[in-house]
Amino acid sequence: MKKFEKSFQLSDSIEVGNGKMVLFSGPCAVESYDVCARVAETLMEICLKLDIQYIFKASFDKANRTSAKSFRGVGLDDGLSVLDQIKRDFELPIVTDIHESYQAKPVSDVAQALQIPAYLCRQTDLLLAAGETGKTVKIKRGQFMAPEDMEYAVNKVKSTGNEKVILTERGVSFGYHNLVVDMRSLPVMRQHAPVVFDVTHSIQQPGGMGGSSGGQKQFAPFLARAAGAVGVDGFFIETHPKPEEALSDGPNMVPLHKMNDFLTMCKEAFELGQQASNDIE
C-alpha cells in the first residue's frame, strides 16, 4: 500500500511528509495569552531538544460544544489577536479551526494551517474556502466517514490548486459516548495525504459527562504508541498546565508537565513506524 508521493512546506521551517515528526499541540481553546504562552514556550523547548517540528494549536471558537452553555472561546477577533501574538513572540507557525467559510480569509492572515473539524469534513464550501487561501488545510476525518472516502475531501481542497493537505485520524463513533480507532485507517488515508494522529480526541467521550465531554486519558499512551508504530507523519495533542481547570476538553488533555516524557515516547514510536513503513514498501 503506497503512501502519498511528495512532501510540502507548511511554513518556512516546517516540511510535512518528509519523514520528520510534526507536532500540532496547545490548549484546546484560547483562554488567555498567558496560558497559550506558557504552553508554547514549554513545548518549543521540548521539541527543540527532541528534534520535532512544532506548530502551535488553539481554537478561537469551539462551535461544536455539547451544550450551548459551554465555553466556546474568546471569539474570532480576540482569538486571532492572541494567536498572532504567540506567532510573533515565539516565532511559531499556527494552526486553528475554522467552522464557516467567511472565517478562512481572516484566519489565513494569521495561521499557517487551517483545521477543518471532523463534523465538517464534508462541507464543500468550507473546504474550498480553506483551499483558496493557499495555506495548509488539515482535515479531521469525520466519526461517520470511511477512511477511503477522505480522498474526496482531499480532492475538494486540491481542486483549488492547493496541494497542501493533511488528514487527521480521531476515531469513529458508535454512539454511547465512545470513540474507537481502527489503525487500518492510517495507511488507507496516507495514500492520499500526510496523516496526523489526534491522540487526545481519540480518547474523548463526546457528551459523556452529561452536557459536556469526558475522556479516558489513561489510554492516550497506548493509542499514541500504536499509531506511531503503524506509521504516521505526526501527532495532534492538546495540553494544558492544569487540565482540571481548562475551559474546554480538560478530561482528555495531557498535562503540560507530562509532555516531555509523552513526546519522547511518541518520537520513539514514530521512528519505529517510519522504518516499518519503508520496509513494507
What pLDDT digit, counting tens, does each position of 192-226 carry?
A: 999 999 999 888 766 544 444 556 778 899 999 99
Calpha distance 135→169 (Å, rounded): 20
Q: Which phi-psi region, left, alpha or beta, contains residue 169 (left: φ > 0; alpha: ψ -120 to 50)?
A: beta
pTM for the model:
0.93
Calpha distance 131→134 (Å, rounded): 6
Per-domain boundaries in the chain: 18-280
- Who contacts 234 (Cβ-Cβ below 8 Å, separation ≥6)? 16, 21, 22, 23, 24, 53, 194, 196, 197, 270
- CATH class of segment(s) 18-280: alpha beta
Using DSSP, state whether 57 is helix, strand or coil.
strand
pLDDT over 80 (residue 116): yes
pLDDT over 90 (residue 85): yes
Contact 179, 143 (CB under 8 A): yes
The predicted pLDDT at position 209 comes to 46
Q: What is the DSSP letter of 218?
A: G
